[in-house]
Amino acid sequence: MAKLLECALNFSEGQREEVIQAIVAAAQGVRVLDVSSDKDHNRTVVTFVGSLQAAAAAAVQVTAKAVELIDMNAHHGAHPRMGAVDVIPFVPLGQATMEEAVAAARRVGQQLGEDLGIPVYLYEEAATRPERRNLADVRKGEYEGLAQKLADPAWAPDFGPVHPHPTAGATAVGARIYLLAYNVNLGTPDVEVAKAIARAVRAKTGGLQYVKALGVMLHERNQAQVTMNVVDPFRTPLYRVLELVRLEAARYGVPVVGTEIIGLVPLTLLVEAARYYLQLEGFRDDQVLETRLWEA
Amino acid sequence: MAKLLECALNFSEGQREEVIQAIVAAAQGVRVLDVSSDKDHNRTVVTFVGSLQAAAAAAVQVTAKAVELIDMNAHHGAHPRMGAVDVIPFVPLGQATMEEAVAAARRVGQQLGEDLGIPVYLYEEAATRPERRNLADVRKGEYEGLAQKLADPAWAPDFGPVHPHPTAGATAVGARIYLLAYNVNLGTPDVEVAKAIARAVRAKTGGLQYVKALGVMLHERNQAQVTMNVVDPFRTPLYRVLELVRLEAARYGVPVVGTEIIGLVPLTLLVEAARYYLQLEGFRDDQVLETRLWEA
């Protein structure tokens, strides 16, 4: 299999269809696999796959267009954000290595900083210091707190100017393994319940290893949501995350009304969920018919 | 995509490893995708895929070897059977049509009858009369009742002699859409419970449409099992079958201890199970990463 990079670029527009499409259309030479927009988050994740070179180039193209069309001074949304393009993670697929994904992240970061005048923080596997690995820490203060953050020597950007881009803020660029973006929608309009559940299930505050979670309000649906990243879903499986959320929600008499997997998900994660719920014995991933039809 | 046939050939040996391997090894020119043996059923399903010609030829090769190595006069097993090779179903995949699968079934039936001296009944889509569509009706009486069945003019075979093969019995050959072979293992050694549950969940006796079910004893595990075929699992989903079995078993205070999917399963069936149990909203089959990597 070839050396491929997957890029799950997050930009800060989730409401205006024509803006979203224009930004996505800027990606050249890669296969766009998914576009997931959320009106309440006012955010879109565009997932594309390509060679080491093409994926990096497309990330820059998309960012340039987003910078042109998005004014962060007018941006409101339920999800934390610091930039028009908020985060650009590269995931190595096929024969690509993490080192190659990190190299792509550095190249992209440099171009964003030098050519587009955007302050850039490298994060996760590309981080230049341990305290910059975690995206939440990098993004803390969000767009509104950027001027102050960039003025702090401890938070000098890895590339670009030491002041925010006047309309596009700052961008985090990094490399990591596949991360599962998973939301659980609750049968309550009380965002405090979602926040309490998030506190209960996130790793940092006594929940499941590898889980990051926030409670947010979905105004369009008048429902609260636990929005999560499972940073190693091959270790902490989907079903365990959902069932713990369900258990914690039960305390408040709140049901789970639906869930969302954002973007793409490796087959093996769904098979593992099926194994748990169907109580499958000895089921192999390669019992899925299509995996046998697609082999060389 | 090419014209492919999948063949899920069932033969009556599930205990002697060397016999199973010798029979499977007889298949030439096809890709063997799965071999699932059950000691209690004393039966193996070998699933292979190939072109229209190759799949038919391999079915005959495997049958010839099974006839050589299996003596039905000495055969005991928990699953109903009438022959050394009990049933040969062809499933059209890719661009293959049901008509082509039926034609392959007829060719194979003719060869088994004329060259190997095995009485053959064509069933499902290949059936020559309505009362022969259903495999259970074709197989009724099993191996031991064959001489009597074949002597009945209403059950004259579609190919081959009007007496059983002296050691290999008779074989059903047919064409059908993908059928899900699914077993549910119960936390009880009482086979009557499994039989009662089978009666409750099978279509014919007031259960779910498209479900055939039997209660059998797994002596090796000292547990009873509901063994099922879901003849249209794209209509009656996996989760609904399992949950109805679970509900019916609860009446007896019996839990489900595990389940088995035999052979291969199309991705979409597992995704549908994941949709139900994970309460997924708007999840598309093509959000599975591998489906996007493998497209042309």
Judged by a CB distance cut-off of 8 A, whether residue A177 touches chain B is no
State the pLDDT at residue B294.
Answer: 66
How far is A259 from A274, CA to CA, in rounded Å? 16
How far apart are the CA of B240 and the nearest CA of chain A, in angstroms? Answer: 10
Q: Tell which B residues from 44 to 73 touch A, by Cβ distance under 8 Å.
A: 49
In chain B, which residues have their Cβ closer than 8 Å to the Cβ of A283?
260-261
Q: CA dist A272 to A108, A275, A283, B278, Å?
A: 35, 5, 9, 12
Within 13 Å, how many C-alpha atoms sit on residue B183's CB side? 23
Ramachandran region of residue B111, left (φ > 0), alpha (ψ -120 to 50) or beta? alpha
Q: How far is B4 from chain A (nearest CA, A)?
A: 10
**pLDDT above 90 (res A212):** yes
* Radius of gyration of the CA atoms of chain B, in A: 19
The upper half-sphere exposure of residue A282, i.e. CA atoms within 13 Å in the direction of its Cβ, equals: 15
Give percent of chain A above pLDDT 70: 99
Which chain A residue has the Cα nearest residue B93?
A: A293
For residue range A153-204, what is the model confidence (pLDDT) as tens digits? 999 999 999 999 999 999 999 999 999 999 999 999 999 999 999 999 999 9
Q: Tell me, yes or no, if B79 is annotated catalytic.
A: yes
Helices (H), A172-255: 191-201, 238-250
Q: Which of B4, B259, B279 best tests the A interface by mutation, with the highest count of A CBs <10 A?
A: B279
Q: How confident is the model at residue A94 (pLDDT cuts 50, 70, 90)?
A: confident
DSSP one-letter code for B15: S
Q: Given this model, what pLDDT does residue A1 score?
A: 57
* Per-residue model confidence (pLDDT) at position A293: 74
* Cβ–Cβ under 8 Å, residues A270 and B270: yes
| Interchain CB contact of B203 with A (< 8 Å) | no
User: Between chains, do A260 and B242 touch, taking CB under 8 Å as contact?
Assistant: no
Q: What are A135-167's pLDDT values in tens digits?
A: 999 999 999 999 999 999 999 999 999 999 999
CB atoms within 10 A of CB A161: 15
Return the pLDDT at B296: 43
Round to whole Å and give the CA distance between A158 and B11.
65
Cβ of A264 within 8 Å of Cβ of B289? The answer is yes
- Confirm if B175 and B125 have CB atoms less than 8 A apart: yes
Rounded to whole angstroms, how far apart are CA atoms A66 and A88? 13
| B185 in contact with chain A, both atoms CB, cutoff 8 A | yes
Please choose, from the candidates A180, A292, A293, A188, the residue with its C-alpha nearest in 3D space to the C-alpha of residue A248.
Answer: A188
Q: Is B32 on the interface with A (CB under 8 A)?
A: no
* Interchain proximity A294–B290, CB inside 8 Å: yes
Count of all residues that appear for chain A in the document: 296
| pLDDT given for residue B295 in this prediction | 60
Of A93, A280, A289, the CB nearest to B266: A289
Phi then psi dihedrals of residue B102, to 5 deg:
-65, -40
* Residues of A whose CB is below 8 A from B263: 287
Q: Are A216 and A224 in contact (CB under 8 A)?
A: yes
Give the model's pLDDT for residue A296. 43
Residue A23 pLDDT more than 70? yes
- The closest CB to that of A267, out of B238, B257, B290, belongs to B290
Nearest to B86 by CA among B99, B77, B96, B94: B77
In chain A, which residues have their Cβ closer than 8 Å to the Cβ of B260?
280-283
Under-50 pLDDT residues of chain B: 296
Residue A291, pLDDT above cutoff 90: no
Nearest chain B CA: its distance from A231 CA (Å): 17
- B289 to A265: CB separation less than 8 angstroms, yes or no: yes
Task: Indicate the residue type of A204.
Answer: K
